[in-house]
Structure 1
Amino acid sequence: MARADHGPQLLALPYDLVWATTWTDEANEWIAPVLGLPELPVVDWPQPRSAVRDGVHWKTRRLVEWAGGRDFAWVDDEVSDADTAWIGAAHPGRALVHRVDARLGLRDGDFTALAAWADPARSG
């Protein structure tokens, strides 16, 4: 569930935040204020949206293209091991594919995992 303290928690992470949601620009209008986030950039999705291929989510290829070789963390409720494997094979940078339960939303453990991944020295 979205909580007002999620915005400050997300902003405290060492990431450039971007909406990678099907809400597109509406995320800035409807979700950002609830979370306490400023307006964020949005990943543009291809139209029409392609179906899942080989178990890989339709967003995956576009996110790798958008990242352009940069390290990135992707938090989503629809990602799978197939997405992680595909990104590992196709993306030259580091990538974290982090699944959250849509019924629960972001939890403390998710923020801990995101912070640890951003700073490998912390996790080792």
Structure 2
Amino acid sequence: MTARKKTTPRAKAPEPNLRHVWLAGLGVVAIARRRGAQRLTTAKQDIERIVRRAQATLRDVRAQGEAGVGRFGVDVETRLAPVLDKLGLGSSKPAPKGRRKPAAAKQARQAPRKRAAAARKATARKHA
């Protein structure tokens, strides 16, 4: 006789019960939550990048617009100056080239001794 191998019966797969369904559902929820968090993080980063680009674009447009308005104003003044002079409405002094600096900036540029002297004079006027 030939020797036969004894085979052991295979373990049967357990039949799904309520516990298996619960664990599978819990796994699905965990995976969905993780993917949702990743998508949310990615979406947040995308939105922040878009906002930064939009802000930079708006700053550039604003700067270009302000420069254009300034140039337009200068062009209008230079073209109208001869006409206004012929009509006798022009001013005899040239138009200022830039904005005036505030008085505080002027005082900051003064020498410290001049500022101290000006402060003493102001104090003397108050008490007089």
Q: Which has the larger radius of gyration?
A: 2
Structure ranking higher on relative contact order (CA contacts 8 Å, 6+ apart): 1
TM-score by shorter chain over 0.5:
no
More helix by share: 2
More strand by share: 1
